Amino acid sequence: MEGLAASIEQMEKTMTTYGREIVIAFAVIVVGLILIKWINIGLKKAFSKLPISSARGATIRNVLCVLMLAVLVTFAAIELGIAAGPVMRFLSILTLTAIGMIVVFRPLIPTLPFKVGTTIKAGDLLGKVEATTVLNTRLRTFDGKTVFIPNRIILNDVIINYHFTPTRRFELKINILYDQDLMKAKQILETIMVEDPRVHPTPRPIVYLMSLNKGFVELSGRGWADNLKRFVVTRELLEKTKFRFDQEGIAMALPQMQVHYTSKNMPQLNTEG
């Protein structure tokens, strides 16, 4: 009991002597950590809008966080009455070591082939990346599901990044009947693509005759559009093609097979009541 009482008495003396400094140092650490967190979030948003890779942005943010933590600990130590010289020397060595480890080992850590906001296909999953952590990636599918994918699976699988390049090629598949004017249909389809301002003039849109199928001729109109607009452009051009073909009298075809009978094998119809 005497030992416990002595410990309590010593603690009271310490709090009486250094209580103000301890409270101020604690407040400095709490407020500083909150500010560092806010700054880190702001830097993350700012870097996402800059043309730098996510890995490089993360490295810069980590280095800045280490520097800010070092400054924070220095201020807290000074408030506790510790001499600034030894603290500065110790934190300088610690900070340089931490920064060196980040710079050296960061390139050795596998990086994900996408960033937040990118539309990707991972295995059978197609959706938009909402967030990434060290362990997993949060994917929002287009039917509203939220999927968490372990990064080890992503790094070991084939990933399609639909936003990696600024432009993508689109394709308009159109089927017409054999008795329709082929050249007129090709010209109409090409004109529709060329006239749309969202379709890039280079490379120039072109129409191919893809195949001669049973009952219809398959045409393919191909052009390039901005990646983010490709889906809407494709659907609206298909709609324009349908309306224009109807106006010009070009009959579109469904997959079908035509059967022709000759007089020798024409089936006899039963006309008897």
CATH of the domain at 200: 3.30.70.100
Beta-carbon contacts of 18 under 8 Å, excluding residues fewer than 6 positions away, are 80, 81
Residues 171 and 155 both lie in one domain: no
Let me know if 139 is exposed, middle or buried by CB neighbors in 10 A (0-12, 13-18, 19+).
Answer: buried
193 is a domain residue: yes
Query: 29 and 88: one domain?
Result: yes
- Average pLDDT for 131-137: 82
Segment 69-94 shows an average pLDDT of 74
> Comparing 148 with 267, which gets the higher pLDDT?
148
Q: Tell whether 14 and 54 lie within a shared domain.
A: yes
Which residues form the domain of 79? Answer: 9-108
Identify whether 154 is part of a domain. yes
Q: The pTM is what?
A: 0.55
pLDDT for 215 beyond 80: yes
Is residue 256 domain-resident? Answer: no
Tokens of 19: 């209580």
Confidence at 70, pLDDT banded by 50, 70, 90? confident
Q: What's the whole-number mean pLDDT along residues 245-262?
A: 77
| Better pLDDT: 192 or 228 | 192
Residue 163 CA to residue 159 CA, distance in Å, equals 12
Q: Are residues 133 and 189 in the same domain?
A: no
pLDDT band at 154 (very low <50, low <70, confident <90, very high): confident
56 compared with 165, residue with greater pLDDT: 165
Indicate if the pLDDT at residue 8 is higher than 80. no
For residue 144, being part of any structural domain is answered with yes
Query: pLDDT tens digit string along 87-132?
Result: 677 777 777 777 676 666 555 456 788 888 888 888 888 899 988 8
pLDDT at 175: 93
DSSP state of 122: E
Distance CA 156, CA 153 (A): 5
Last residue of a domain, one of 161, 192, 224: 161
Report how far apart, in Å, the C-alpha atoms of 225 and of each of 64, 157, 186, 197, 228 are: 39, 28, 20, 9, 8
- How many other C-beta atoms can be found within 10 angstroms of the C-beta atom of residue 253? 17
pLDDT bracket for residue 10 (50, 70, 90): low
Domain presence at residue 258: no
What pLDDT was estimated at residue 6? 60
Residue identified by tokens 């195949």 is 211
Which tops the pLDDT comparison, 114 or 270?
114
The CA-atom distances, in angstroms, between 159 and each of 77, 100, 112, 147 are: 49, 32, 10, 15
pLDDT at residue 173, as a whole number: 93
| Tokens encoding 130 | 């909402």
226: confidence class by pLDDT, cuts 50, 70, 90 = very high
Residues 189 and 138 in one domain: no
> Dihedral of the CA atoms 26, 30, 33, 35 (nearest 10)?
-120
3 inside domain: no
Do residue 147 and residue 101 come from a single domain? no
The residue type found at 159 is I
Based on the fold, state whether residues 141 and 192 are members of the same structural domain: no
156 with 172, same domain: the answer is no
Domain count for the chain, please give it.
Answer: 3
Beta strands 125-132 and 119-122: pairing type?
antiparallel
Instruction: Answer for the pair 226, 199: CB distance below 8 angstroms, yes or no.
Output: no
114: in domain: no
Decide: 248 and 211 in contact? Cβ < 8 Å.
Answer: no
* CATH code of 123's domain: 2.30.30.60
Helices 84-105 & 54-79, crossing angle to 10 degrees? 170
Asked whether residue 86 falls in the same domain as residue 36, the answer is yes
148 and 196: one domain? no
* pLDDT score of 106: 58
152/235 same-domain check: no
For residues 188 and 248, the answer to whether their CB atoms sit within 8 Å is: yes
Give the whole-angstrom CA distance, residue 200 versus residue 67: 47
Q: What is the mean pLDDT of the chain?
A: 80
Clarify whether residues 213 and 230 are in a common domain. Answer: yes
Locate 128 and state its tokens: 């938009």
Q: Answer yes or no: is 218 within a domain.
A: yes
- Of the ranges 9-13, 59-63, 182-186, 263-267, which is most confident? 182-186
Q: What pLDDT does residue 221 have? A: 95
